[in-house]
């Protein structure tokens, strides 16, 4: 068993190393699920086989010591050197390969349950959600806000709230479902979303906006036009690059429901199909979103982002956001 455990840890290190180096894309949810099953198998084997076997060996050791002492006492020797308790503890001790498998099962199980059904941490890798979220923000995502889903396959078991306009949502990227994206919900099923000449409109009605002071991006060392946008009850800030044209080019991967969108030099107009959502980044001219790759199906929803729990470069960013 020690050789098998070493082989499993070697395979895990190989997989994580290739993932880190970019040789393949990893699936942390699937990895955590497999680790939970494997460590549970070791934990079960420890409780049902290995621990009883060690306990039986310790009992045999004690019985042998007791017989030895009884025989010596029969011969008139009352004082016997040696203490079997230390040897018993050594026999009962878990070997290293059980410490690093069965011993980790409760911790891995707890992480798996918390991450799958309650809250999942994410790191913001790009600036598409500036100024709401900055590169390097470590955020928490509420996994049950939109319903309870089975881990790995993401099938909904229990419905909860529906996504609302203005929600900051994490979802599986429609072009590559192994990648998680974060954007803001702009269009609901049945909505007509237009983004023409940098102005967002829903069902023919312009979304209310209010000019704000310019935003200074410390990473790009430049100022951007900043606007407060009102999506339903949510007021949030967006950035607009005045120097970029409103025209967008759809990606070749945008195939399903492609006919629901009309592109022009001014921008794009899309009719959101049933069971799908139209997503946009708050950094409007620096965001690959539904304008480029299409709509997000309901089955790809991961959860609602709501809290920055750490940014090692700027601790002031810690807190809730809209």
Q: What is the residue range of 311's domain?
A: 121-320
The reply to whether 54 and 180 lie within a common domain is no
Return the residue matching tokens 């509420």. Answer: 142
Token digits for 308? 């920055």
Q: Which residues are catalytic?
A: 128, 183
Residue 141 burial (C-beta neighbours within 10 Å; 0-12, 13-18, 19+): buried
pLDDT tens for the chain, 322 residues: list them: 788 888 888 888 888 888 878 787 778 888 999 999 999 999 999 999 999 999 998 888 888 878 877 777 777 777 766 677 888 888 889 999 999 999 999 999 999 999 999 999 999 989 999 999 999 999 999 999 999 998 888 888 899 999 999 999 999 999 998 889 999 999 999 999 999 999 999 999 999 999 999 998 776 778 889 999 999 888 999 999 888 888 889 999 999 999 999 999 999 999 999 999 999 999 999 999 999 999 999 999 999 999 999 999 889 899 999 8
Interatomic CA distance for residues 159 and 148, integer angstroms: 7
Domain boundary (69, 89, 112) is at: 112
Return the residue matching tokens 């990473």. Answer: 219
Q: What is the pLDDT of residue 187?
A: 97
Are the beta carbons of 128 and 289 closer than 8 angstroms? yes
The reply to whether 36 and 12 lie within a common domain is yes
Token digits for 81? 């050197």
Total of domains in the chain: 2
What is the pTM assigned to this prediction?
0.84
Domain boundary (82, 112, 142) is at: 112
The reply to whether 41 and 71 lie within a common domain is yes
The reply to whether 141 and 258 lie within a common domain is yes
Domain boundary (112, 141, 174) is at: 112
The reply to whether 79 and 198 lie within a common domain is no
Q: What is the pLDDT of residue 283?
A: 95
The reply to whether 162 and 138 lie within a common domain is yes
Q: Which helix (H) or strand (E) holds 122?
A: strand 119-123
Q: What is the pLDDT of residue 80?
A: 64
The reply to whether 125 and 13 lie within a common domain is no
Q: What is the pLDDT of residue 20?
A: 77
Peptide bond into 131 cis (omega under 30): yes
């Amino acid at each position: 068993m020690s050789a098998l455990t070493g082989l499993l840890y070697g395979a895990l290190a190989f997989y994580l190393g290739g993932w880190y180096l970019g040789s393949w894309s990893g699936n942390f949810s699937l990895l955590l699920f497999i680790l939970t099953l494997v460590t549970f198998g070791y934990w079960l084997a420890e409780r049902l086989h290995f621990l009883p076997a060690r306990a039986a060996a310790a009992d045999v050791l004690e019985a042998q010591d007791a017989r030895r002492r009884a025989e010596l006492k029969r011969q008139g020797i009352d004082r016997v050197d040696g203490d079997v308790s230390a040897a018993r503890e050594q026999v009962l001790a878990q070997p290293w390969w059980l410490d690093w498998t069965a011993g980790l099962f409760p911790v891995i199980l707890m992480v798996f349950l918390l991450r799958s059904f309650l809250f999942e941490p994410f790191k913001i890798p790009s600036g598409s959600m500036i100024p709401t979220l900055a590169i390097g923000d470590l955020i928490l995502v509420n996994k049950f806000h939109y319903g309870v889903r089975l881990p790995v396959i993401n099938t909904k078991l229990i419905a909860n709230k529906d996504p609302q306009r203005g929600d900051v949502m994490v979802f599986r990227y429609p072009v590559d479902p192994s990648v998680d994206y974060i954007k803001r919900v702009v269009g609901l099923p049945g909505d007509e979303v237009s983004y023409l000449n940098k102005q967002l409109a829903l069902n023919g009605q312009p979304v209310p906006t209010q000019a704000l002071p310019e935003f200074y991006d410390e990473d790009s060392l430049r100022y951007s036009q900043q606007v407060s946008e009102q999506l339903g009850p949510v007021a949030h800030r967006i950035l607009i690059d005045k120097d970029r044209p409103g025209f967008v080019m759809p990606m070749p991967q945008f195939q399903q429901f492609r006919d629901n969108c009309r592109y022009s030099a001014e921008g794009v107009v899309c009719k959101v199909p049933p069971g799908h959502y139209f997503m946009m980044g708050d950094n409007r001219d620096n965001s690959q979103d539904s304008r480029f790759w299409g709509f997000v199906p309901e089955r790809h929803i991961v959860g609602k982002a709501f809290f920055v729990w750490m940014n090692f470069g700027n601790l002031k960013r810690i807190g809730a956001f809209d």
